[in-house]
Amino acid sequence: MRVTQSMLSSNSLRNLSESYRRMGQYQDQLSTGKKITKPSDDPVVAMKGMFYRSNLTEVEQYKRNLSELYLWMENSEAGIEQANNGLQRVRELVIQGKTGSLSPTDRDAIAREVEQLKDDLVQVANTQVSGRYIFHGTDTDHPPVPTASPPKVAANLADPDINSYKVEISRGVSLRANVDPNGVFNQELFDVVQGIQTALESDNTAELEDLLGQLDGSMDKLSAERSELGARYNRLEMIDDRIAQQEIMANRVLSENEDADIESVITDLKTQESVHRAALGVGARILQPTLLDFLR
């Protein structure tokens, strides 16, 4: 095959253009820190990147769900602790009120403190987090104790359909965020506290003994719910650790797939620059002057 000057010129210019393209690609990788800037650079890397990024987005959403669970459980724990402290104080007042040496005026004064503790229990039962009632199951838009004096719980508090407020924390795994609303601030609890207040106001010490037993039963239920909440909180922390590990692995895989090896890119760029300079030198020798160059 006959090789002409035109063929040499065309091949040389095409190779120089390809050399410029490669140097431009390496410079883009250095400036962006990524292997590709558009899917056509490497469709396989682009496709895997979409899959890995989707997994990372899913993990980040689960982390936000975990934060919501922490918020609910920690506020529920604080509310139960406050209620338990209040009931413990009511119990002390009942024992004090049974003392025979107290006058009706003294018992009435104790009744006033019990009333304040009862009102505090209502406020705790109606605790809101981000505008949602945390002690009313899935019915988060309505207070569990809408009537404060005397306290009357919502009619659907014992409904099992509203008992469980679940949040998805992993693919196919959901965890209950709330405590059993009927096991914490139920009508029985408020009736007992109201009965203690009434008995103290009427100076009826004989009724206080039976009410004390009922109060202990309500406190036992409260403690049981607190223990169950603590068990779920421990599981939540374990899942949180696992999600954190998944996030680290997802970021690492995404980085390995998309991030450029800067040291390797710099080496390749320097090599390509050397090749490009050599190609320019050789091209200058191959591309001989034409007749037009002599006619200028």
Enclosing domain of residue 25? 5-35+261-295
Residues 197 and 239 grouped into a single domain: yes
Confidence of residue 5 (pLDDT cuts 50, 70, 90): low
**Residue 144 placed within a domain:** yes
pLDDT digits (tens, 9 = 90+) for 120-165: 999 999 999 988 999 998 899 999 999 878 899 988 888 877 888 8
pLDDT digits (tens, 9 = 90+) for 212-260: 999 999 999 999 999 999 999 999 999 999 999 988 988 888 888 877 7
> What are the tokens at 248?
């680290």
**Residue 245 placed within a domain:** yes
Q: For the residues 197-219, what does the mean pLDDT come to?
A: 91
What is d(CA 275, CA 260) in angstroms, rounded to the nearest whole number? 22
Residues 161 and 273 grouped into a single domain: no
Nearest to 125 by CA among 183, 67, 198: 183
Beta 166-170 vs 151-152: how paired, if at all?
A: unpaired
Q: Give, in order, the Cα–Cα distances in Å from 130 to each of 30, 136, 141, 176, 181.
A: 45, 14, 11, 17, 18
Residues 266 and 223 grouped into a single domain: no
At 31 the pLDDT is 79
pTM score, two decimals? 0.76
At 42 the pLDDT is 76
Residues 196 and 274 grouped into a single domain: no
CA 108 to chain centre: 49
Supply the CATH number for residue 154's domain. Answer: 1.20.1330.10
Residues 71 and 96 grouped into a single domain: yes
Which amino acid type is present at position 81?
Answer: E
**Residue 44 placed within a domain:** no
